[in-house]
Amino acid sequence: MTFTYKDLPVVLRETEMVTLKDGTQLRFEANGGAQEVFVNDEWTSRASLFQGMDHDLDLTGDQVHLISEPDGLRVELK
């Protein structure tokens, strides 16, 4: 499933993604307990988050706050 910025805040499950206003897409893949955060079709993750960790990404003017939760990756605008 693909969410848009209008759905934020949202908790992504693996294989889901969110598309921001400018078309940038965020997704994550589970890797040994960590959630690897990817932007668009990049091969290298921008962040590796374990449950309870958070991270801020500055993407094309949008400040995105990511929080690793038991149910998935919470994505919200700051």
Both tokens of 41, joined, read 């079709």
For 21-42, the pLDDT digits (tens) are 999 999 999 999 999 999 999 9
- The Cα angle at residue 77 between residues 16 and 19, in degrees rounded to 5: 35
Give the pLDDT confidence score for residue 59 in this predicted structure: 85
Both tokens of 33, joined, read 């307990």
Band of pLDDT at residue 46, cut at 50, 70 and 90: very high
Band of pLDDT at residue 62, cut at 50, 70 and 90: confident
Rounded Cα distance between 71 and 50, Å, is 12
Q: How far is CA 70 from the centre of its chain?
A: 14
Both tokens of 22, joined, read 């400018």
Band of pLDDT at residue 12, cut at 50, 70 and 90: very high
